[in-house]
């Protein structure tokens, strides 16, 4: 006679009292550890805030030449009442970056109480005339400062800029003619002829109408918006070939590719 299989289900026995008690003790111990840690963190947090040990007592500024250390310190907005660990380095960097001559800025902490600021400054490459006022600008057309009347200019004097208005120190001038004039100046300054004659002015009536004036010759040099470096190299080669004696009385026009028009 075959045997019949019988399936039975057993109920899980409740955990022994000793095991439940052990778990409860572990939970209580973890809770105590968390509470102690929280108290420690709270106490340490308030200690660092209130402790004079971490108050800012020195600001070191590196890379400043045109901008004074005092200007940078004032721009940070940080005082000796501020805690070094609590100040926002990104917020300080943003404030210092608003100074006209500052191109890039990095801010770091040097414990326990020193704030370190490293600058890279903008360099003036040209002078822009707006009405009867002159302004120093860098290669990206940021206005660095206004020059007092009669002050010597830096780089070429860029004139005749259309619709320029009165620039604001610190702003980037959105003038296509100015940007073309600066690009021309960069290319021209790299060729030999730039060191043989004195460039006094670039008239920028428009992006396609740039005129250069030299002190030593009676004629003007006309440029068009294209490859300024190629144009400048052709001009320099011609200047060397003719030993600077170009038969021009009114203008030298470089706008027609390989053809140089002299009149």
Per-residue pLDDT of the chain (263 residues; tens, 9 = 90+): 444 444 455 555 555 667 666 776 676 667 666 666 655 554 555 556 667 888 999 999 999 999 999 999 999 999 999 999 899 999 999 999 999 999 999 999 999 999 999 999 999 999 999 999 999 999 999 999 999 999 999 999 999 999 999 999 999 999 999 999 999 999 999 999 999 999 999 999 999 999 999 999 999 999 987 789 989 998 999 899 999 999 999 999 988 766 778 88
Domain 52-121, CATH among 3.40.190.10, 2.40.50.140, 3.10.20.310, 3.40.50.2300: 3.10.20.310
Query: How far from 239 is each of 36, 190, 233, 244, CA to CA, in Å?
Result: 83, 15, 10, 5
Bridge partners (DSSP) of residue 109 are 115
State the Cα–Cα distance between residues 215 and 198, nearest whole angstrom: 6
Helices vs strands, H then E, count in the chain: 5, 12
Sheet holding 259-262, edge to edge: 143-146, 133-137, 126-130, 157-159, 199-206, 209-214, 220-223, 251-256, 259-262
CATH 3.10.20.310, the chain: domain bounds: 52-121
CATH top class, domain 126-262: alpha beta
List, by residue range, all CATH 3.40.50 domains of the chain: 126-262
Closest CA to 187 of 127, 227, 246: 227
- Helix 89-96 / helix 69-76 crossing angle, nearest 10 deg: 130
């Amino acid at each position: 006679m075959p045997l019949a299989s019988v399936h039975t289900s057993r109920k899980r026995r409740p955990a022994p009292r000793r095991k439940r008690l052990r778990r409860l003790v572990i939970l209580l111990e973890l809770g105590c550890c968390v509470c102690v840690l929280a108290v420690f963190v709270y106490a340490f947090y308030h200690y660092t805030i209130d402790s004079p040990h971490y108050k800012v007592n020195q600001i070191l500024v590196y890379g400043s030449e045109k901008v004074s250390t005092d200007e940078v310190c004032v721009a940070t907005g940080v005082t000796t009442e501020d805690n070094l660990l609590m100040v926002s380095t990104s917020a300080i960097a943003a404030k210092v970056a608003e100074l006209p001559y500052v191109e890039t800025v990095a801010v770091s902490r040097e414990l326990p109480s020193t704030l370190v600021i490293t600058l890279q400054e903008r360099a003036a490459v040209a002078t822009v005339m707006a009405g009867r006022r002159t302004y120093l600008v860098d290669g990206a057309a940021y206005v660095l400062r206004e020059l007092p009347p009669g002050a010597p200019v830096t780089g070429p004097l860029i004139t005749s800029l259309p619709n320029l208005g009165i620039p604001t120190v610190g702003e980037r001038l959105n003038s296509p003619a100015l940007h073309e004039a600066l690009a021309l100046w960069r290319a021209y300054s790299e060729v030999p002829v730039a060191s043989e004659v004195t460039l006094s002015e670039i008239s920028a009536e428009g992006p396609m109408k740039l005129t250069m004036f030299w002190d030593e010759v009676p004629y003007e040099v006309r440029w068009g918006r294209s490859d300024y470096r190629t144009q400048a190299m052709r001009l320099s080669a011609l200047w060397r070939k003719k030993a600077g004696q170009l038969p021009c009385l009114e203008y030298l026009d470089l706008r027609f590719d390989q053809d140089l028009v002299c009149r």
